């Protein structure tokens, strides 16, 4: 596939997007796709909730449930197989990383709130800001660890699924676009997942420098 064609896949109405949308439309809905992928991954324990009220698909480790958006099927976007593969990968990641990600992100928010309260009462110290920086560093580390693994693994998972369901040539075309879009969008995706943390970090740094510079 030519570079120009891959670039035009970003436009919903481009020819390549329409062709790929039609191709993926013929595949089963996201719930069945997820069941097939989980079976292939040897996962027999994760529950699936497939509902209209779910905006974006996600996985919750603590109740071992994959929440899939029914809307994503209705939107019929060819990238849905990659998204389902991404969430299925989360179900297979080591529990310890999922738990550490969950706990560190909660602690980060709590330490942020404590810093804001300390600032309000004029008690903010360099030490408390330093503790916040350590906390957010650990939280970003675990967050990126599980997300980057899911992003990279999702291509391999989607490849196996698509090669099984489509003609080899058709699957290769879809995969070429998946790989291209993942490469281009990776930095934006990372900013999106870390967005709230970035905002909190900027607030703490702003307060710190306004007090100590
Ligand atoms: Zn993810």
Q: What is the pLDDT of residues 100-133, one digit of tens each?
A: 999 999 999 999 999 999 999 999 999 999 999 9
202 C-alpha vs ligand 1 centroid, how far in Å? 24
Query: How many Å apart are CA 72 and CA 54, to the nearest integer?
Result: 9
Span from the CA of 96 to the centroid of ligand 1 (angstroms):
16
State yes or no: pLDDT of 15 exceeds 90: no
CA of 87 to the centre of ligand 1 (A): 6
CA of 10 to the centre of ligand 1 (A): 21
Q: How confident is the model at residue 12, as a pLDDT?
A: 78
| Phi, psi (deg, nearest 5) at residue 28 | -60, 170
**Spatial distance between the Cα atoms of 180 and 139, rounded to a whole number of angstroms:** 28
Instruction: Give me ligand 1 centre to Cα 207, in Å.
Output: 31
Is 0.75 topped by the overall pTM? Answer: yes
- What percent helix, strand, coil does the chain show, rounded to 5? 75, 5, 20
Whole-angstrom CA distances from 118 to 38, 101, 124 are: 47, 26, 5
Q: What is the pLDDT of residue 11?
A: 80
Q: Give pLDDT, residue 8.
A: 76
Strands (E) located in the chain:
47-51, 58-60, 65-69
pLDDT at 39: 97
Give 128's DSSP letter. H
pLDDT score of 79 more than 80: yes
Q: How far apart are CA 161 and CA 40, in angstroms?
A: 9
Confidence label for 206 from pLDDT (cuts 50, 70 and 90): very high
Check residue 213 and give its pLDDT: 78
If 0-12 CB within 10 Å is exposed, 13-18 middle and 19+ buried, where does residue 114 land?
Answer: middle
pLDDT of residue 81: 96
188 Cα to the center of ligand 1, angstroms = 14
């Amino acid at each position: 596939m030519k570079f120009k064609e891959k670039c035009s896949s970003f436009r919903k109405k481009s020819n390549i997007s329409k062709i790929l949308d039609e191709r993926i439309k013929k595949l089963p809905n996201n719930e069945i796709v997820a069941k097939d992928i989980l079976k292939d991954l040897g996962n027999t324990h994760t529950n699936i909730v497939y509902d209209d009220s779910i905006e974006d698909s996600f996985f919750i480790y603590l109740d071992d449930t994959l929440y899939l958006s029914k809307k994503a099927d209705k939107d019929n976007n060819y990238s849905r197989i990659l998204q389902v593969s991404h969430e299925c990968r989360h179900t297979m990641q080591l529990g310890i990383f999922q738990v550490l990600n969950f706990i560190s992100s909660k602690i980060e928010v709590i330490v942020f709130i404590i810093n804001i309260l300390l600032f309000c009462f004029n008690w903010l110290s360099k030490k408390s800001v330093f503790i916040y920086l350590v906390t957010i560093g650990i939280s970003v580390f675990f967050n990126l660890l599980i997300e980057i693994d899911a992003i990279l693994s999702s291509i391999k998972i989607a490849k196996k699924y698509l090669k099984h369901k489509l003609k080899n040539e058709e699957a290769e075309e879809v995969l070429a676009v998946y790989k291209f879009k993942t490469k281009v969008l990776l930095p934006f995706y990372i900013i999106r997942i870390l967005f709230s943390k970035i905002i909190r970090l900027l607030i703490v740094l702003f307060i710190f420098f306004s007090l100590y510079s």
